[in-house]
Amino acid sequence: MPKEDFTSCGISLIGRSIRVLPEVSSTNELLKAEAEECLASEGTVIIAEHQTAGRGRLDRVWESPPGKSLLFSLLLYPEIPGDKMQLIGLMASLAVLNGLEVAQLKHLNHQIIHLKWPNDILGTKRKLCGILSEAGVDKNGRRFTVVGIGINVNQTLNDFPEPLRNTATSLYIMTGKKHPRTTLLKSILASMEDHYNRLLNEGVEWIPQTWLERAGIRGKKVEVKDSNNTISGTCLGLNPDGALQLMMPDDSIQTIYSGDVS
């Protein structure tokens, strides 16, 4: 595979500054620290070839061997109410899904890539991409969001830690082909810019609706696990703030703000 130059993948806002680091603890940690000190502008992207302390949702670790996946974080300053911040993660997952589809048109059957609430993308029902969206406040009191994205690109099954081998996948495993990460990144940043422009122009109301249509889980039975419980119900839809609404067997309605859905 030719040497990959990520720095030319930016669009006009998203990725107007792109930094590539051989190794960092976590791109989210670094970009959050820079944003807090007002040292990075909106649209900044930090990419790492390797993370020594990559983080996932629900305090999990995100592990990936060097050079085989796309690991990056993006800084946004969306002017939306604090209780709607979860929508940024949903928007990001729509943007990544769209970017993957555009870039992989020749190799991927669209039917095998799915959204999983809140921010995951599955390929052949296994985890292909995870998104960790974290809000913060900079030293001038402006609220920001760092969107951290990890996409499994060229890993073989043996590259994943043993406990993940039954639940993870990569584009390489799905297609039998190695994928240039620059093509993917460019397509994803372009799609992110389109989605973010829509948010800036129209607000956030379209996000839960569009996500639901694309995920196709309305009316389906789902199970949600958190650290203490597992509950099962029928998906009614999403709240305006992105929370999952379930109809329970006793006809009560439960609103789920976090957890693992299957």
Q: Tell me the HSE value of 210 on the side-chain side, using a 13 A CA sphere.
A: 17
Dist. CA 257–CA 221, nearest whole Å: 17
Least distance to ligand BTN from the beta carbon of 126, Å?
12
Handedness of CA 41, 82, 149, 139 (dihedral sign): positive
Q: Identify each DSSP E strand in 14-102 by its residue range.
A: 18-21, 45-48, 69-76
Q: Does 40 bind ligand BTN (CB under 6 A)?
A: no
Helix axes 206-215, 86-103, angle to 10 degrees: 50
Which one of the spans 49-57, 74-82, 105-113, 241-249 is the region binding ligand BTN (CB under 6 A)? 49-57
Which one of the spans 23-31, 101-109, 211-219, 226-234 is the region binding ligand BTN (CB under 6 A)? 23-31
Beta carbon nearer to ligand BTN, 72 or 172: 72
Point out the residue whose Cβ comes nearest to ligand BTN: 130
Q: Does 118 bind ligand BTN (CB under 6 A)?
A: no
Dist. CA 137–CA 46, nearest whole Å: 19
Q: Does 71 bind ligand BTN (CB under 6 A)?
A: yes
Among 148, 208, 233, 259, binds ligand BTN (CB under 6 A): 148
Beta carbon nearer to ligand BTN, 72 or 211: 72
Where in 119-138 is the site for ligand BTN (CB under 6 A)?
A: 120, 130-132
Q: Does 26 bind ligand BTN (CB under 6 A)?
A: yes
Q: Does 28 bind ligand BTN (CB under 6 A)?
A: yes
Token pair of 218 as six digits: 């309305």
Beta carbon nearer to ligand BTN, 236 or 243: 243
Q: Does 62 bind ligand BTN (CB under 6 A)?
A: yes
Beta carbon nearer to ligand BTN, 109 or 262: 262
Q: 75 vs 8, 59, 131, 247, 256, CA distance in Å? A: 17, 21, 13, 36, 27
Residue with tokens 């999983």: 116
DSSP line for 185-226: HHHHHHHHHHHHHHHHHH-STHHHHHHHHHHT-TT-EEEEE-
Residue with tokens 């998104």: 131
Beta carbon nearer to ligand BTN, 58 or 248: 58
Q: Does 27 bind ligand BTN (CB under 6 A)?
A: yes
Q: 250 vs 238, 246, 254, 261, CA distance in Å? A: 20, 11, 11, 20
Q: Does 56 bind ligand BTN (CB under 6 A)?
A: yes
Beta carbon nearer to ligand BTN, 128 or 199: 128
Binding interface with ligand BTN (CB under 6 A): 26-28, 51, 54-57, 60, 62, 71-73, 120, 130-132, 148-150
